[in-house]
Structure 1
């Protein structure tokens, strides 16, 4: 560990030294050409010093970063374009010589390719077209009498704007990447929650089936058929993002029938459906509170157990409610079912659902409203 750290420090120190030398060379060339640094006659002397020190530090650190990431010949090749542009500007006594602007464009394209290779390759057609327009404009109007007053500022603005656009494109790509990353993360988390719901349900159902098999009950074959229908729904439709509400209702009805086969005691179950509008819903969502009602309600009571379920639709969404009684034993059960329901609702229907749960001494109620439009 110590050896790696020492090697890293030496490497960083070497990059900083080389970057400082190259930055100094650039400033010397800039001072000779008079076009790359702020001159003392342009501003107040203290401000002149501050601006140039800042520019030198920025150039130094940028070069050190480039040296640490890219081969030296690539960096020298790009800087060579800037050097040639400065030499051409200084030694060629031609008004608005035709070499400096193309070399500056090649320099910025080279820097862009080194620093932002993915962005450059992705938008290379737009970048080449933009710089092509700048060069074409430059060569068309550089020979006109009023070039210095009317056209040279346009060329300069084009160069500055194109560099700014590159930065904006890079920022947009980073934002898009972060957005996709968050979406993929949310999708992965949602899949984990789905996978927690299904095994939780099948674990309870297989326990029920095991009890019937031990008792050699005649209800076992019917239970297996219902379980087969439920498994078909969870395997095929359960992996979809959304399903028709009527399919989810059929799934709940099969689930209820499955439990009716199991119980020897009388359970009063009412299921009121008022489906006036067709809506889509996330699969295996509404069955969670139904499962909770059976597990913590019906199974805790010896007699007079009841479950009242209601599903209704409006033109804008779905309303679901469930009410059941239970035996209050003074113990709070903390299953994963309702916790997963809350998390899934927050991820699938953020700010578009209302979940309310109330509990009295022996009655538990849950209501859920979902906006689907």
Structure 2
């Protein structure tokens, strides 16, 4: 390990840098010696010639550095030998249709691709082999023609460049597809996590209330157990679905409200208006979150005159939902973790298809939600 001004370099890193630098110089000397792969300095101004070759050298060095750090030097030398063979053959044969340069160059490119992107290469190896095999086949069919240099060499070069371009585009699509699948899996995992954060919190509170009623031997205990059973069934079975019928979500909300009402000794005015003109589907265990928030941070904070107004309406392509409640002016925490989960689930399930408005006064809180279902 070598450390210089805060930078640590391992022995293997230094070794790969030295080898990559040496091989890059050797390759450029051989290719330059052949005269077939370096741009003719007489065809461009010196500054452009130097810039192009400098970029090529840096790219060559970076590629070799990656290869040397990951693979055996013998494998790398074997692949680079194909490039050198192609360059030397181009120089010594002095004919436009020599039988070595094109096949060796294609095999070199395929070898580098196999080293750098092995999983992609293995998955599409048949397509890649057919593409480059077609170039080689075309080359050997027409290389013997007297007019090969004028009529066919350009086509061979074009096919070779086209094959490389197609491979790069296919690799880009492969990477895009992988990224999109990763995003989908991350979204699913995030949604599962959000659901797991909501359900245990509700059941913990409900079981505490049930425990209190059992201790008091309340007549409401059996009814509460039955409601809790219905809610658990809905959560366990329907909660796994992406969408459920809105009427099932409403039944779940009604059971939740009844469970919550049983535990209050004070008078609470609860209004639940439903105008379901057209059946709709909705993400399960979603609308109950603001209602739970209203109970926890609104009704629980008041000793009297507590109210909760809930409204659900549907149209041909939308669902409207609103919750309005009052709370003690001394209670400044009306947000809660549940509301953050509510917003995140909306963003996942209804991206760009919902509008959420929250209005708060000194003692009243109102949440309205508009969801586009088409």
TM-score (norm 2): 0.91
Aligned to 2:232: 231
Aligned-partner Cα distance in 2 for 1:43–1:326: 78
Contact 2:96 2:153 in 1 (8 A): no
Alpha-carbon displacement from aligned partner over 1:222-251 (angstroms, at most 9, x marks no partner): 111110110111111112222221111110
Q: Is the aligned partner of 1:34 residue 2:35?
A: yes
Q: Is the aligned partner of 1:143 residue 2:144?
A: yes
How much has 1:220 moved relative to structure 2? 0.4
Aligned-partner Cα distance in 1 for 2:7–2:49: 38
Secondary structure of the corresponding residue to residue 41 of structure 1: helix
Aligned-partner Cα distance in 2 for 1:308–1:358: 14
Contact 1:270 1:308 in 2 (8 A): yes
Aligned to 2:177: 176
Unaligned stretches of 5+ in structure 1?
Answer: none
Contact 1:16 1:61 in 2 (8 A): no
Aligned to 1:204: 205
Alpha-carbon displacement from aligned partner over 1:258-315 (angstroms, at most 9, x marks no partner): 2233333443322221112222211111111222232333333444433222111111
Aligned to 1:102: 103
Root-mean-square deviation over aligned CA pairs: 2.4
Aligned to 1:74: 75
Secondary structure of the corresponding residue to residue 272 of structure 1: strand
Q: What pairs up with 1:210-289 in 2 under 5 angstroms?
A: 210-289=211-290
Aligned-partner Cα distance in 2 for 1:227–1:362: 31
Aligned to 2:296: 295
Contact 1:23 1:60 in 2 (8 A): yes
Aligned-partner Cα distance in 1 for 2:88–2:230: 81
Contact 2:2 2:11 in 1 (8 A): no
Secondary structure of the corresponding residue to residue 358 of structure 2: strand
User: CA 1:56/1:297 → structure 2, altered by over 3 Å: closer, same or farther?
Assistant: closer
Contact 2:239 2:285 in 1 (8 A): yes
Unaligned stretches of 5+ in structure 2?
Answer: none
User: CA 1:64/1:332 → structure 2, altered by over 3 Å: closer, same or farther?
Assistant: closer
Aligned-partner Cα distance in 1 for 2:45–2:2: 49
Q: Is the aligned partner of 1:317 residue 2:310?
A: no
Contact 1:245 1:278 in 2 (8 A): yes
How much has 1:46 moved relative to structure 2? 4.3
Aligned to 2:167: 166
Secondary structure of the corresponding residue to residue 354 of structure 1: strand
Aligned length: 372
Aligned to 2:56: 55
Runs of 4+ that moved beyond 6 A? none
Aligned to 2:91: 90
Aligned-partner Cα distance in 1 for 2:22–2:190: 50
Alpha-carbon displacement from aligned partner over 1:147-179 (angstroms, at most 9, x marks no partner): 322321111111122222323333333333333
User: CA 1:51/1:213 → structure 2, altered by over 3 Å: closer, same or farther?
Assistant: same
220-229 vs 353-362, which deviates more? 353-362
Secondary structure of the corresponding residue to residue 38 of structure 1: coil
Aligned to 2:373: 372
Aligned-partner Cα distance in 1 for 2:323–2:181: 37
338-347 vs 260-269, which deviates more? 260-269
How much has 1:212 moved relative to structure 2? 0.9
Secondary structure of the corresponding residue to residue 152 of structure 2: helix
Aligned-partner Cα distance in 2 for 1:111–1:83: 14
Secondary structure of the corresponding residue to residue 82 of structure 1: helix
Aligned-partner Cα distance in 1 for 2:7–2:315: 68
Contact 2:213 2:221 in 1 (8 A): yes
How much has 1:31 moved relative to structure 2? 2.8
Secondary structure of the corresponding residue to residue 271 of structure 2: strand
Secondary structure of the corresponding residue to residue 365 of structure 1: strand
